[in-house]
Every structure is written in C-alpha cells, then in structure tokens.
Structure 1
Amino acid sequence: MKTITQSYESSFRERGSKFMGYLFPAETEEDFADELDQIKSQYPDATHHCYGWRINPARIREFSSDDGEPSGTAGLPILNQMKSYEVVNAGIVVVRYYGGTKLGKAGLIEAYGRSAELCLDVAKLVTIRPVQFFEVKYPYPEENTINKLKNDFELKVEESEYMEDVTLKIACPKEDAEAFENALKRLVHLNIRFDKKEEHFV
C-alpha cells in the first residue's frame, strides 16, 4: 500500500466542462471533511464537488460521492483510481464546472476517472509498511544495547521519554516483530523491560 505526504492538483477541459482534481492526505474522515469544506468554499459556484476517500490501512474504509451526477459516474471512478494505485489515507475531490454540453454516463466516468488519475500520476507515492509497536524501558547505561537493536531490526522511534529510565515507543517491521521480541526477552537481565502494543502502519 502507498500514501502521500502532500497535496496535488490537476485540471483539464472536456467539451466545455472544466474538471479540477485535488488529491490530499487524510488520515481520518474529519481530515477529509475539513479539506472538502475548504475546496467547496474556494469554488462555491461549481456545479459538482465529487469525491472519494480511503483511510485506515489496518482495516480500509472507503467512501465516494457523486454529488448530484448520475449514480456511479463520478465518485466511483475516482475511488477506483485510488484503488488501482493502492493509495490509502488520502482523498480526492474533483470540482466540475458544467460547460453546456452533456457528456453522457460513459463520458462522465471517463472524465472523473481521468481527473483522479492525473493527480495520482504526478503524486510522489510513499510505501507504507505494517509495523508492531513496542514500549521499551531501559536504564541509561544500556543505550548502546538499544542502539544495536535499532540497527539490527530497522526500528523507528515514534516517542521517547527520558526520566529515571528511558522509555521509547518503537515501531518494528511486522515481519521482524517476533525476532525482536525474542531479542528483548534475552535482555531482561540488563533491566530492559518491554510491552507489546498495537499493530499499525508507518
């Protein structure tokens, strides 16, 4: 699966109608709704604001809207492009200004799909990996031991807290999680403690 870290735009005309595509990151429905509101306020006089979104790579949820276009001619083609590019935690809104010539169902499907595809084509897509989170606590003298583990298992520190001991929230690639857990178990004698947390994607 892939995601994006910035927004992208596209624009073209089809028999007088203008189609403007907006692809942007959205990790929650609220993120998407905020962006949709901004686009609607930017183009309040547009004929349609059609869209699709896909969120939560752990258990994908997706939705699309035709916003007044004939059923299945706008939101679904947008969503299908996102699926074909395997993009999650993102949304696409396509703004249409009607140009006086009806495009027909096939023409609409083509135009909305193309608008989404033009955005996705220029986007820098970032691969996301399934990870297992761990909370690891250790005394300061064991910093080198933990650093070696970070290198061995390609760990990514998400949060850190330096109190009496060091506490790290660490993301470990899912495929290495069992081996990493076993390595931690072998370090208990060094007063290195850990808790296995939730699975996620980074």
Structure 2
Amino acid sequence: MKTVQQNYQSSFREKGSKFIGYLFPTSSKEDFENKLADIQSKYPDATHHCYAWRINPINIEEFTQDDGEPSGTAGLPILNKLKSYEMINCGCVVIRYYGGTNLGTSGLIKAYGKSAELSLEKASLKTVVPTKNFDITYPYDQQNEIDQLKNNFDLKEVDAQYTEKVTLTLACRAKQAEAFKQALLQLEHKGISVTDNGSGFVTLNTN
C-alpha cells in the first residue's frame, strides 16, 4: 500500500470544462470532510466537487461522491485510480467547471480518472507497511539480546522508556510477527517479557 504526506494539485481542460484535482493525506472521515470543506470554500462557484477516499490500512474503508454527475461517472473513476495505485489514508477531490459541452458517460469517466491520475503522478508516494506491535520489557543487562533481535527482524521502534527496566514499543512487519513473538517468548527466562499490542502500520519512504 502507498500513501501521501502532503497535498498535490493538477488541472487540465476537456472540451471547455476545467478539471482541478486535489490529492491529500487523510486518516478519518471527519478529517476528510474538513479538508473537503476548505476546497469547496476555495471554489464555491464550481459546477461539481466530486471525490473519493480510502482510509484505514488495517480494515480498508472507502467512499465515493458524484456530486450531481451521472451515477458512477465521477467518484468511482477517482476511487479506481486510488485503488490502482494501492493508495490508502488519502482522499482525492476533483473540481469541475462546466464548459458548455457535454462529455457523455465515457467522457466523464475518462476525465475524472485522468484528473485523479495527474495528481497521483505528481505525488511522492510513501509505503504503508502493516505491522503487529509489541511492548517488550527487559533488564538493562539483556540489551545485547534485544539488539540481536533487531538485527534478525525488520522492526521499528515506536517508543522507549528507561526506568528500573527498559520498555520498548516495537512495530514488526505483520508477516514476521509470529516468528518474532516466539523468539521473545524463548527469552522469558532471562527476564524479557512481551505484550501483544495488536495491529498497526508504519509509513516508510519509497525508494
């Protein structure tokens, strides 16, 4: 899966109509609605504000809106572009100023899809990796054991607390999670304890 961490904009004309695309990060329906309202206030005289969003890498949710265009000709092609790029935690709004010439069903689908794709092509995409998260508590003298685990597994440190013992919150790639947990359980006799914190995700730069 991929995502964006900043806003991207594109525009083009088709038979007199102007299409302006906005691609931006969003993590919830409420956040998307706030950003949509900002865009609508910037283009209050636009003919249509059509959009799609996809959120939640753990359990994907998605939504489309045609905003007065014929059903399935605007929001769905935008969503299909997001899906074809495997996008998550982002939304895309396409503003249309009607230019006086009807585009027809196929023309609308092509135009709204193109607008979304132009923004996606501009974007710097980040990789979203599903994880399992663990809290690990251990004595200071067991740091070498933990360092070895870090070398053997693809882990990202989310949090660290240093009190009488060390407590780390680590995100492990979901496909490695069971093996990582078993490796930790084998170290319980050394005072290393593990708590499963459920599913999550991390965002990485895409090379």
* Pair 1:89 & 2:89 matched: yes
* 1:10-25 alignment, distance < 5 Å: 10-25=10-25
Query: Which is further off, 183-192 or 78-87?
Result: 183-192
Deviation digits for residues 153-188 of structure 1, max 9, x if unmatched?
121011222222221111111221122112111221
* 1:33-182 alignment, distance < 5 Å: 33-182=33-182
> For the residues of structure 1 that align with 2:84 and 2:174, how far apart are their CA atoms?
24
Aligned residues: 202
Structure 1 gaps of 5+ residues are none
Q: What TM-score results when the alignment is normalised by the length of structure 2? A: 0.92
* Pair 1:28 & 2:28 matched: yes
Amino acid at match of 1:62: E
- Could you tell me which residue of structure 2 aligns to residue 200 of structure 1? 200
Q: Secondary structure at the match of 1:69?
A: coil
> For the residues of structure 1 that align with 2:111 and 2:140, how far apart are their CA atoms?
59
Alpha-carbon shift at residue 35 of structure 1 (Å):
1.1
Alpha-carbon shift at residue 27 of structure 1 (Å):
1.4
Aligned Cα RMSD in Å? 1.4
> For the residues of structure 2 that align with 1:196 and 1:100, how far apart are their CA atoms?
59
Moved over 4 A (4+): none
> For the residues of structure 2 that align with 1:127 and 1:153, how far apart are their CA atoms?
18
Q: What TM-score results when the alignment is normalised by the length of structure 1? A: 0.94
Structure 2 gaps of 5+ residues are 203-207
> For the residues of structure 2 that align with 1:174 and 1:103, how far apart are their CA atoms?
45
Identity %: 58
Amino acid at match of 2:5: T
Q: Secondary structure at the match of 1:128?
A: strand
Alpha-carbon shift at residue 149 of structure 1 (Å):
1.4
